[in-house]
């Protein structure tokens, strides 16, 4: 990256940090408690260009590096994690289209995705298929120039207020191995595409996470991602690299935000005649928290740099996601303990960080699965 571009991207990160403090922090608690979608915040994110953050300038985006993008996510999530999910799924879809789509698909969708005119979700998970994506049951049957889709998806973020879903389907349910029968379709809302309703969640509130049902939904063959059947599992795996960098960044942001809240409270709160930061037990917690935050950031940077170079980074992205999400969960919990009884009051933001953190350990690959991915990749790279 050139010096000028680096300075420009850093200035953008700084601007997002200022925006998050000014616009997100004052309203986060109210939106979270009401579980209300932040329409005005979304419009601000459009104006900032966040929906085109990683889309190439050729298609109207900002063309930011993955590491700059990760830093933006950290800044947003350190104040309020939920809004980062609105542009996360969206940008995974955009990256999948830009990397794998036909030229017609890129020209048709990417400029509208970059402005936020189209807001996208990614339809992978099903009621009986989470980490085992090859077990999906949603089927797309070829009929003339169309695919006819039947099935359902679960936990799909951006699907209620968005208007496009990149849908993982079985185009050949009998294929062996199973992944060879999977494809992705670019699906805009229409007859047969039903958003069942917003799911109630412990955390990650305000964001529209829904169940989708498809009943003889028709989509033209020109919307088959890349124009070739059987590549859906590969496209999904490629997209998960950016997704895991994002979720790792969200976890690191939660961790950093929890640390900031804890640092302030530890200096304000007094027990036994002195600020609680002077107690050794609190000092140990703060030391572990900052070490986890900074360690997660370095792993995120390593993964993002490899992603930007176009190099394989499944191992690095998995480590970054694991470290970031575990840092988020650990730091939120430790901050709860530092806040003591007040942590259980909705008047303090730390309880929201605690509720939001655990999702990062589950989304974009459960951490138990990622540990297996890391171990297998480690052996592959160090064969004897």
CATH number at residue 86: 1.10.540.10
216 and 286 share one domain: no
Q: Say if residues 379 and 313 touch (Cβ distance below 8 Å).
A: no
240 and 336 share one domain: yes
* Residues 235-247: tens digit of each pLDDT: 888 778 888 999 9
Provide mean pLDDT across the span 365-383.
93
Q: What's the structural domain count of the chain?
A: 3
* Residues 172-184: tens digit of each pLDDT: 999 998 889 999 9
> Which spans in 166-231 are helix H?
none
362 and 254 share one domain: yes
* Residues 15-66: tens digit of each pLDDT: 999 999 999 999 999 999 999 999 999 999 999 999 999 999 999 999 999 9
Sequence-separated (6 or more) residues with CB below 8 Å from residue 80: 20, 24, 25, 28, 32, 352
* Residues 213-225: tens digit of each pLDDT: 999 999 999 999 9
239 and 359 share one domain: yes
229 confidence band (pLDDT: 50, 70, 90)? very high
Q: Which two tokens stand for residue 252?
A: 């690191």
Sequence-separated (6 or more) residues with CB below 8 Å from residue 210: 156, 159, 160, 195, 196, 197, 198, 199
* Residues 66-105: tens digit of each pLDDT: 999 999 999 999 999 999 999 999 999 999 999 999 999 9
Residue where a domain stops, chosen among 82, 115, 148: 115
Range of the domain at 133: 120-231
Residue 214: per-residue pLDDT: 98
* Cβ neighbours of 200 (radius 10 Å): 8
* Residues 260-310: tens digit of each pLDDT: 999 999 999 999 999 999 999 999 999 999 999 999 999 999 999 999 999
Instruction: Return phi, psi of residue 146, to 5°.
Output: -115, 160
130 confidence band (pLDDT: 50, 70, 90)? confident
Residue 259: per-residue pLDDT: 98
1 confidence band (pLDDT: 50, 70, 90)? low
Residue 66: per-residue pLDDT: 95
124 and 192 share one domain: yes
**At how many degrees (to 10) do helices 314-339 and 367-381 cross?**
140
Residue 2: per-residue pLDDT: 64
Residue 49: per-residue pLDDT: 96
246 and 377 share one domain: yes
Please state whether the peptide bond connecting residue 177 to the residue before it is cis, i.e. omega within 30 degrees of 0.
yes
Residue 237: per-residue pLDDT: 81
Half-sphere exposure of 321 (CA within 13 A, CB side): 29
Residue where a domain stops, chosen among 231, 256, 285: 231
242 and 377 share one domain: yes
Could you tell me the CATH number of the domain that includes residue 368? 1.20.140.10
139 and 102 share one domain: no
363 and 300 share one domain: yes
Q: Specify whether 270 is catalytic.
A: no
User: Is pLDDT of 4 > 80?
Assistant: no
CA-wise closest residue to 249 among 89, 121, 81, 119:
81
Could you tell me the CATH number of the domain that includes residue 171? 2.40.110.10
CA-to-CA distance for 251 and 214, rounded, in angstroms?
A: 32
| Averaged pLDDT of the chain | 95
Residue where a domain stops, chosen among 194, 214, 231: 231
251 and 376 share one domain: yes
Catalytic hit among 211, 229, 326, 364: 364
Q: Say if residues 335 and 343 touch (Cβ distance below 8 Å).
A: yes
143 and 109 share one domain: no
Q: pTM value? A: 0.94
* Residues 92-103: tens digit of each pLDDT: 999 999 999 999
> Which spans in the chain are helix H?
3-19, 25-34, 39-48, 66-77, 82-100, 103-115, 232-268, 280-308, 314-339, 350-362, 367-381
316 and 356 share one domain: yes
User: Is pLDDT of 325 > 80?
Assistant: yes
Dihedral sign for Cα 128, 318, 352, 39, please: negative
Instruction: Return phi, psi of residue 185, to 5°.
Output: -120, 140
């Amino acid at each position: 990256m050139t010096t000028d571009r680096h300075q420009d991207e850093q200035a953008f990160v700084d601007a997002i940090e200022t925006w998050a403090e000014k616009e997100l922090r004052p309203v986060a608690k109210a939106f979270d408690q009401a579980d209300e979608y932040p329409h005005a915040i979304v419009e601000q994110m459009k104006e900032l260009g966040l929906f085109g953050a990683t889309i190439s300038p050729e298609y109207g985006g900002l063309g930011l590096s993955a590491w700059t993008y990760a830093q933006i996510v950290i800044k947003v999530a350190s104040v309020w994690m939920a809004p980062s999910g609105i542009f996360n799924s969206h940008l995974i879809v955009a990256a999948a289209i830009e990397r794998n789509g036909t030229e017609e698909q890129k020209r048709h969708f990417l400029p509208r995705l970059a402005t936020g005119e189209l807001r996208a979700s990614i339809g992978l998970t099903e009621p009986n298929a989470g980490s085992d994506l090859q077990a999906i049951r949603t089927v797309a049957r070829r009929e003339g120039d169309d695919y006819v889709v039947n099935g359902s998806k679960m936990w799909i973020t951006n699907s209620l207020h968005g208007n496009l879903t990149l849908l993982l389907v079985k185009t050949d349910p009998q294929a062996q191995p199973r992944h060879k029968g999977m494809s992705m379709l670019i699906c805009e809302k229409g007859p047969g595409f039903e958003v069942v309703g917003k799911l109630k969640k412990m955390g990650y509130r305000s964001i529209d996470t829904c169940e989708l049902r498809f009943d003889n939904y028709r989509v033209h063959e020109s919307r088959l991602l890349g124009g070739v059947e059987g590549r859906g599992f590969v496209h999904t795996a490629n997209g998960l690299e950016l997704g895991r960098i994002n979720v790792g960044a969200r976890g690191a942001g939660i961790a950093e935000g929890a640390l900031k809240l804890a640092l302030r409270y530890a200096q304000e709160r007094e027990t036994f005649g002195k600020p609680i930061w002077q107690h050794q037990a609190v000092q140990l917690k703060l030391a572990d928290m900052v070490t986890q935050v900074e360690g997660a950031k370095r792993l995120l940077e390593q993964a993002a740099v490899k992603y930007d170079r176009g190099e394989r980074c499944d191992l690095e992205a998995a480590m970054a996601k694991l470290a970031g999400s575990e840092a988020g969960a650990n730091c939120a919990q430790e901050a709860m303990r530092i806040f003591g009884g007040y942590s259980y009051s909705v008047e303090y933001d730390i309880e929201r960080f605690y509720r939001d953190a655990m999702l990062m350990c589950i989304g974009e690959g459960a951490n138990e699965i990622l540990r297996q991915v890391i171990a297998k990749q480690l052996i592959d790279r160090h064969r004897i």
